[in-house]
Amino acid sequence: MRSAHSGARADLRGRMSAGKEQFDGLSRRTESLVLPVATFTLDMILWIASSGRSGNTFFRVVLHHIYGIHTYAAFNASEVLLTAGAEELVGYLPPPEPLKSAIAKRDAREIRSALDELDARAELFVFKTHARAGNLFGTNFPAILLVRDGRDTMTSYANYLVDINFDSAALKSRVRKMMRSKTELLGRRSWVHLVKIFVMMILKGLGLRKWLVSRRIDQMLARDESGWVGTNRSWLERTPKPVIVRFDDLIRDPIGSATRAVDALGIGLVARAETAIPSFLELKERYPSFFRKGKSGDWRNHLSPGQERLFRLRSEEMMKTLHLPL
């Protein structure tokens, strides 16, 4: 699985001091957060962490194409590309054993033990996660944190919710499941979903899509879960500190953003000699429900003044911490 990896742990130790110097340089060269640099323990699990809709999937697309590594999704995160049959874009694999069984049992001790077992293997396991750092079973594996304007993540997620379960792909998927399985065909849940798909299609056809998105935003704000603030704070306050990748930097320079982040970790990955990466625009054209805009500021087209004020009230401090414009 790690054809691009340098191999033995002894080899990787020699790269750690160089990785630290590269991270120091990265902090000086970009406007990203300037955080104290920790000396990472040589763990073979890497978290790709973020709040939802912050560029996690696109970052993993870039990683897979540059380094040929596979990625997994776990802990408040699923592989969204499975729905579109496009999981090969990120080199997705289901969680390996014994972790898969431990997750199914929902046993925290078994999950931690399974993670430690994977960490001890001479392999690199890269996990997408939307979990808070403190909810990952006491682990301290190296991490890359994707950060994005919280107003844009909320807007993007609201659009995603309006589309992902109710578009033409969802209709085809639901009908296909019902045709293949008698249980699905006779199940109430299947028919309820089918009705919702048609209702949503009709509402969007009547020009009410923006209203549906606004309603979703209201629901997220009403819950006041502080998901964006809480997730980012948990990773920023964690030791060792994560390497920060800003969404705007990733979209503008995907290869540079990914390679600088990986080099900063000092884990010995070597880029392929020839790398062809699909642009965000190309991905958007092929999978519009997953790759939506790829730019900042779209929240202005969706958030009402009242919604934006409420977001500021709860999130202004974190926006300033992340050096994001208000």
pLDDT tens for each residue of 181-190: 989 999 999 9
Residue 8 has pLDDT above 90, yes or no: no
Residues, the chain, total?
Answer: 326
As a whole-number percent, the residues of the chain with pLDDT over 90 amount to 62
CA distance 248 to 250: 5
Average pLDDT along the chain:
84
Confidence of residue 225 (pLDDT cuts 50, 70, 90): low
Confidence of residue 322 (pLDDT cuts 50, 70, 90): very high
Q: What residue numbers bound the domain in which 81 lies?
A: 9-149+227-291
User: 130 in helix, strand or coil?
Assistant: coil
The answer to whether the beta carbons of residues 50 and 56 sit under 8 Å apart is yes
CA distance 38 to 284: 37
Domain assignment present for 69: yes
pLDDT for 226: 59
CATH code assigned at 74 = 3.40.50
Mean pLDDT of 231-235: 96
The answer to whether the beta carbons of residues 149 and 299 sit under 8 Å apart is yes
CA distance 172 to 102: 33
DSSP structure string for 208-259: -HHHHHHHHHHHHHHHT--HHHHHHHHHHTSSSPPEEEEHHHHHH-HHHHHH
- Phi first, then psi, for residue 82 (nearest 5°) are -60, -35
Mean pLDDT of 2-24: 37
Domain assignment present for 219: no
The answer to whether the beta carbons of residues 155 and 65 sit under 8 Å apart is no
| Predicted confidence (pLDDT) per residue in 236-251, tens digit | 999 999 999 999 999 9
Confidence of residue 32 (pLDDT cuts 50, 70, 90): very low
As a whole-number percent, the residues of the chain with pLDDT over 70 amount to 86
pTM (2 d.p.): 0.80
Domain assignment present for 145: yes
Report the number of distinct structural domains present in the chain: 1
CA distance 318 to 326: 11
Q: What are the tokens at 199?
A: 């209702």
Among all chains, which residue has been given the structure tokens 């969680």?
Answer: 95
CA distance 22 to 28: 10
The answer to whether the beta carbons of residues 65 and 275 sit under 8 Å apart is yes
* Residue 285, H or E segment: helix 280-286
Domain assignment present for 240: yes
Residue type, 163: D
Q: Give the C-alpha distances (Å, rounded to integers) separating 33 from 40, 116, 321.
A: 18, 30, 8
CA distance 197 to 219: 20
Domain assignment present for 109: yes
Domain assignment present for 139: yes
pLDDT for 284: 85
Residue 252 has pLDDT above 90, yes or no: yes
pLDDT for 82: 82
Residue 93 has pLDDT above 60, yes or no: yes
User: 72 in helix, strand or coil?
Assistant: strand
Mean pLDDT of 42-66: 90
Domain assignment present for 13: yes
Domain assignment present for 210: no
